Amino acid sequence: MSSSPILLPISTRSVGFTIRFLISAIRCLLGRKYDFDWYRLSNALYRVTLLRLHAKINGGFRHSFITRHISDEPYYLFEGQFDAIKYIGADFAVIHRILSAIGYVKYGPDCFVPFLPLLKDEQRCDPINVRFTNLREIVTTLANPETSVEIRKHFWQHNPIPGAKWSTAEANGKDEFAATTILSNPNDIIPAKYNVEELHEDINALQGIIGVMGRKYPREIVNEIIDYESYGSRAQFVSSIAKPSRCPSYNDNNNDNIKIPTGELDTFWSPRWLKQNEIDLGVFCLLGEHSDAIKNERLLAIRFEEVATQHIYQSYCTYHRPNF
């Protein structure tokens, strides 16, 4: 192993996008045959997946010493939290693909360690870098009408939270941004004091829908426990600019389909040459979106287009259209 691993910043917007695509597809497939609370499942899956993503990144830290000066909550996770998630077995295949892709990876003589870079104090409400550790702070900020219009609008335009409801859409049914638009459901997205008991409740709720999908659409379920210390994929190298693309405001009307994310993401690059299967996985996972909110821009150098050796023109949405 190299004595100086290269730090690889990881963005998280695709977690929410993937969940919205997934829940929308399952809702269409199962319809009213089962009494699932799709709204609760969206929020539960988002919380649990962000927590698991943080744990997967922690697993890569054994290859390098990561400090609080560069990374958001290194080594975070209380023992009870990790105990709850480490033996999750049956999993949605799309979630499993993202989590499995994250981790320490080698390329020739170089080795790379994924991490969550610190955010600027004035830009902590960043839609590109929503993490389990800052989710509560973000939703309370967005629910506060005193928060600047610029912050609320930027997040709304790039919203990754699959269960987010916005006040304008709630009031008149029009999912449009206005100066008064705020997030209307922060406590549903993550409770103020989300604890291990609630984490177990979320996992149990998710196992119910996973069980049904496993019986009806077994190809969409993976019966494999995530190894949180396993190596990741070179797919993590795929980088891009974070263009406006968002999960529309969640609509509780059961007669309506759950709307999929809007906007198109189709331009990517990599600092190292990748095989086609690595490119495909990298575009699917969308782990390398650039954000101006990163505190130390030098840590983003590996993601800059100027250092790209390979340019990629493929559609992100294409990889998330259901094939079942």
Could you state, in order of their start, the residue ranges of all structural domains in the chain?
6-320
Please answer whether residues 5 and 231 qualify as being in contact, where contact means their C-beta atoms are separated by less than 8 angstroms: no
- pTM of the prediction? 0.95
pLDDT (tens digit per residue) in 249-272: 998 775 568 899 999 999 999 999
Q: What angle do CA 24, 28, 33 make, to 5 degrees?
A: 125
The DSSP code sequence of 130-177 is --TTTHHHHHHHHT-TTS-HHHHHHHHHT---TT--BHHHHHHS----
pLDDT (tens digit per residue) in 228-244: 999 999 999 999 999 99
Please answer whether residues 13 and 160 qualify as being in contact, where contact means their C-beta atoms are separated by less than 8 angstroms: yes
Distance CA 120, CA 139 (A): 17
Confidence of residue 1 (pLDDT cuts 50, 70, 90): very low
pLDDT (tens digit per residue) in 136-191: 999 999 999 999 999 999 999 999 999 999 999 888 888 999 999 999 999 999 99
